[in-house]
Amino acid sequence: MDNPDIQKLNQIIVGRYGGNSEAGQNKNEDGCLVWSNKNEDWEFVIILDAHYTAESAEIVIDLFKQNKTDMENLLSFPTTNHYMFKNLEEKILNLFQSDEFLSICRKVKGETSCLIVVRKHKYLWWFSVGDCILYLFHQDLVVLGQYQLNQRQFYEWVGKVNTFDNKVPCYTSGTRELRKGLNHIFLTTDGLIECSNAPFINPSEIFKVFANCQTDDGIELLLQEIQENNVRDSTTIVSWEVYISEEASKPSDQ
C-alpha cells in the first residue's frame, strides 16, 4: 500500500499498487501469476481480485503452480493444432471443478475474480470469471473504437462463493487473432478504472497514456495518477507488447 511497484519479467511488465491507506485501505488482496516461453512463443498470465481475504487468490495460484507441467505441455502444441485452446479450456475447467479443489474453496474466507490470458503466436485466448479486464491496443482496432476484449461480469467468483460449485458454472472465454504490427496486451483489476477523478474507465484514456512512452513508463504514469487521486482499491496491471509479422484477416474488398 501507498507504494507503487513495477517489475519487469522478461518482456512482461507487472505493476502493483495496494491502494492508499489515507483512503481507508488496509490490505492488498490482488494476485497474479506470470509464465512465458520465448522459444515456444507464448505467455500465460493470471490476475486475481479477491475480497474479504486473499485466501481465494492464493489457492487459485497454488492450483496452477501444481499443474504447471500439464499447462506447459498443452501450450507446446502449435497453433496449427486448432484443438490447443479447446484442450486448454477443458483442462482449466477440470481443475476448477475437481472435488479436491471445490473442497478447498468451501473452507476459505472470501472469493476472487480470475482472468486467465494466453498469447500463443498470433492468437490471444482468455478465460474470465468476474470483473477483471482485458484490453488489446492496436491501431487497426483503435480507429474503430475497439479496445476491450472481455466484458466485466459481476457476481461471479472462485472461492467460498464459487461459480464452479453451481450446477452450471458461469464464465466467459474467447479467442482473438492479433493484427499485423504491434499489439499491446493489457490486463488490470478494477482499482484502475474505479478510481474517482481519474479517467481510466474510458479505455481510450489508458491507450493515450502509452502513446509516447514505453510500457513500463506508461504503467508508472497510470499508478501515479490513481495514487494522486487517493484510490482506495488495490490495482494490479500486467502488460506486454507482441509484434506480429503475418497479415491478419481483412474484408474481401480490401
Asked whether residue 70 is domain-assigned, the answer is: yes
| pLDDT greater than 90 at residue 120 | yes
Q: What per-residue confidence (pLDDT) applies to 129?
A: 98
Asked whether residue 252 is domain-assigned, the answer is: no
The strand pairing partners of 238, in sequence order, are 14, 187
Asked whether residue 150 is domain-assigned, the answer is: yes
| pLDDT greater than 90 at residue 26 | no
Give the DSSP H or E segment for 118: strand 111-120
Q: What per-residue confidence (pLDDT) applies to 116?
A: 98
| pLDDT greater than 80 at residue 65 | yes
Q: What per-residue confidence (pLDDT) applies to 22?
A: 86
Q: Are 106 and 157 in contact (CB under 8 A)?
A: no
| pLDDT greater than 70 at residue 254 | yes
Task: State the average pLDDT for the chain.
Answer: 95
Which whole number is the average pLDDT over 132-138? 98
d(CA 29, CA 233): 9
Q: What per-residue confidence (pLDDT) applies to 80?
A: 65
pLDDT confidence band for 23 (50 / 70 / 90): confident
Total structural domains in the chain? 1
Which whole number is the average pLDDT over 48-73? 97
Asked whether residue 249 is domain-assigned, the answer is: no
| pLDDT greater than 70 at residue 135 | yes
pLDDT tens column, 203-243: 999 999 998 899 999 999 999 999 999 999 999 999 999 99
Give the total residue count for the chain: 254
Asked whether residue 251 is domain-assigned, the answer is: no
Q: Are 108 and 159 in contact (CB under 8 A)?
A: yes
Q: What per-residue confidence (pLDDT) applies to 118?
A: 97
Calculate the CA 133 to chain-centre distance: 6
From the CB of residue 7, how many other CB atoms can be counted at a distance below 10 Å? Answer: 11
Asked whether residue 189 is domain-assigned, the answer is: yes
Q: What is the CATH number of the domain that holds 71?
A: 3.60.40.10
Task: Give the domain range for residue 136.
Answer: 5-244
pLDDT tens column, 176-197: 999 999 999 999 999 999 998 8
Q: What is the pTM of this model?
A: 0.96
Which whole number is the average pLDDT over 41-62? 97
Q: What per-residue confidence (pLDDT) applies to 197?
A: 87
Asked whether residue 10 is domain-assigned, the answer is: yes
Q: What percent of the chain has pLDDT over 90?
A: 87
Asked whether residue 254 is domain-assigned, the answer is: no
pLDDT tens column, 69-98: 999 999 998 876 778 999 999 999 999 999
Burial tier of 167 (Cβ tally within 10 Å: 0-12, 13-18, 19+): exposed
